[in-house]
């Protein structure tokens, strides 16, 4: 590794990736790793896909860089038209950016612009949730309730509010599992009323808790009731679909499980299956119509880029035309069932959960009391290391319980995973989980 690189990981040296195909990544020593988490729950279509590579090449031959204030492109326009058919937003308008954090920043500013345009400039506060993740730029980090990532930057944060997480395994509702949707809605309503609805701009949440809570699926009536409270108080609903979007949870978008229509949706990761940096914030036609006459003070050098849109369009077509969202739903359900069966007898597995190809395993010292391991035991790190040795890549989260303790691993393989690879994924995952016994 170069001495001039500031590496992403500072605690160990990384292998050099030299190739990838399907669900596998190959390093410079020829070792093959099963990409059990699609990197960071990103890769849906699989590595080395001819259609996605051809789309990137064709676009680069057409135009390379043109600025978003000077031109639109065929790639951006036709992608906007095509993705509109699957977005869970009424009359959507997409604002393309380079990734998830930028999509979240854009969504937050859209909410602010909407209220300003309607003469409600007092609506400045965003309500997010504890144990959430919305990105690492300062606005998105402020929305995030992921304590280990917030800690060093605390003096720069604190403008947003955080309510309870939708976390069935450790639900904050005292009467859980009775009336959880009602309880969450009442909590949110109380929060909005105590600060004053005229000060609240938006509520932002992941439809299914991802990078912090490891595929935590809310109870059935959570989302419909939360949306109702927001609508009552004129608070915009932002669904952060950066991880759940584009088939990851077995539906096109996470909110499709509950058939709700947010005012703004964000997307990133799976839009291009990770081939090129891309994402977007999509607002409803009503939000756009309010903002448009006054203008939208925002933009990035790389927003509205044709290359990202072209690869995103090819990704969308692969997902749609080759039934990959259904594949995510069906194979994901099978993986969940198999993992639950195989890990049932493993005492330090507290919960195995998820939807589609977005799965999480929560590790605990004591299954009955759900007491976590001490962070000093490095359970997640040891598990990931054992998996890597064995040629399996998993994704992780630590510290979700109290900012320090909490051990979670996630699976999120490409939807194109073959049945044989799925069997290897289960076998190696179980072996890695057992290795920390
Ligand atoms: N929002 C959610 C729900 C995410 O899961 C992530 C990344 O994990 C982000 C936003 C940030 O995306 P990015 O890392 O592309 O900036």
pTM of the model: 0.98
Tens-digit pLDDT profile for residues 270-304: 999 999 999 999 999 999 999 999 999 999 999 99
In 295-437, at which residue ranges do the beta strands (DSSP E only) sit? 349-355, 358-363, 392-393, 395-398, 407-411
Confirm or reject: Cβ of 133 under 6 Å from ligand 1.
yes
Confirm or reject: Cβ of 308 under 6 Å from ligand 1.
no
For residues 240 and 128, what is the distance between their CA atoms, to the nearest angstrom?
Answer: 11
Confirm or reject: Cβ of 145 under 6 Å from ligand 1.
no
Placement of tokens 């195909």 in the chain:
21
Domain borders along the chain are 17-48+323-434, 52-321
Confirm or reject: Cβ of 240 under 6 Å from ligand 1.
yes
Confirm or reject: Cβ of 129 under 6 Å from ligand 1.
no
Q: Using 50, 70 and 90 to split pLDDT, how confident is the model at 137?
A: very high
CATH topology of domain 17-48+323-434: 3.90.1150
Of 129, 242, 248, 300, best ligand 1 pocket probe by most atoms within 8 Å of the beta carbon: 242
Beta-carbon contacts of 253 under 8 Å, excluding residues fewer than 6 positions away, are 86, 87, 88, 207, 239, 241, 244, 245, 246, 265
Q: From 3.40.50.300, 3.40.640.10, 3.30.70.20, 3.40.190.10, which CATH number describes the 52-321 domain? A: 3.40.640.10
Confirm or reject: Cβ of 104 under 6 Å from ligand 1.
yes
Of 204, 206, 211, best ligand 1 pocket probe by most atoms within 8 Å of the beta carbon: 211
Tens-digit pLDDT profile for residues 250-273: 999 999 999 999 999 999 999 999
Tens-digit pLDDT profile for residues 321-375: 999 999 999 999 999 999 999 999 999 999 999 999 999 999 999 999 999 999 9
| SS3 category, 127 | strand
Confirm or reject: Cβ of 316 under 6 Å from ligand 1.
no
Q: Of all residues in the chain, what percent carry a pLDDT higher than 70?
A: 100
Tens-digit pLDDT profile for residues 400-430: 999 999 999 999 999 999 999 999 999 999 9
CA 133 to chain centre: 8
Q: For the chain, what is the mean pLDDT?
A: 97
Classify strands 395-398 and 407-411 as parallel, antiparallel or unpaired: antiparallel
41, with CB counted inside 10 A (0-12, 13-18, 19+), is buried
Of 100, 104, 213, best ligand 1 pocket probe by most atoms within 8 Å of the beta carbon: 100
């Amino acid at each position: 590794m170069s001495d001039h690189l500031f590496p992403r990981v500072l605690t160990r040296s990384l292998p050099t990736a030299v190739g990838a195909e399907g669900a596998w990544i190959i390093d410079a020593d020829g070792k093959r790793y099963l990409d059990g988490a699609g990197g960071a729950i990103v890769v849906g279509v699989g590595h080395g896909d001819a259609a996605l590579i051809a789309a990137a090449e064709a676009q680069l031959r057409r135009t390379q860089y043109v600025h978003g204030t000077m031109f639109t492109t065929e790639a951006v326009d036709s992608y906007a038209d095509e993705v509109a058919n699957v977005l869970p937003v009424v009359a959507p308008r997409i604002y393309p950016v380079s990734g998830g954090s930028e999509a979240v920043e854009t969504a937050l500013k859209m909410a602010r612009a909407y209220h300003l345009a309607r003469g409600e400039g007092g609506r400045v506060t965003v309500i997010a949730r504890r144990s959430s993740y919305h990105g690492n730029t300062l606005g998105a980090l402020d929305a995030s309730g992921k304590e280990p990532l917030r800690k060093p930057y605390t003096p720069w944060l604190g403008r947003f509010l955080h309510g309870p997480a939708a976390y069935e395994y450790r639900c904050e509702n005292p009467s859980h599992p009775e009336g959880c949707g009602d309880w969450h809605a009442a909590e949110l309503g109380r929060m909005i009323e105590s600060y004053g609805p005229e000060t609240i701009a938006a509520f932002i949440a992941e439809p299914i808790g991802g990078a912090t809570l490891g595929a935590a699926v809310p109870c059935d009536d959570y989302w419909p009731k939360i949306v109702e409270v927001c609508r009552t108080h004129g608070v915009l609903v932002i669904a952060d679909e950066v991880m759940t979007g584009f088939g990851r949870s077995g539906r096109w978008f996470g909110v499709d499980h509950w058939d709700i229509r947010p005012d703004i949706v964000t997307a990133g990761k799976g839009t291009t299956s990770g081939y090129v940096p891309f994402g977007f914030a999509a607002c409803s036609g009503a939000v756009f119509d309010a903002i448009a006459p006054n203008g939208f003070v925002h933009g990035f050098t790389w927003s509205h880029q044709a290359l990202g849109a072209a690869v995103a369009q090819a990704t969308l077509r692969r997902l749609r035309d080759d039934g990959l969202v259904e594949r995510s739903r069906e194979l994901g359900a099978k993986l969940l069932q198999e993992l639950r069966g195989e890990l049932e007898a493993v005492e330090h597995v507290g919960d195995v959960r998820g939807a589609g190809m977005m799965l999480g395993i929560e590790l605990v010292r004591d299954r009955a009391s759900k007491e976590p391991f001490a962070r000093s035991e490095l359970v997640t790190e040891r598990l990931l290391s054992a998996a890597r040795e064995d040629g399996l890549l998993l994704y992780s989260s630590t510290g979700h319980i109290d900012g320090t303790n909490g051990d979670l691993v996630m699976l999120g393989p490409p939807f194109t995973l073959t049945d044989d690879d799925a069997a290897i994924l289960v076998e190696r995952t179980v072996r890695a989980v057992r290795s920390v016994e």
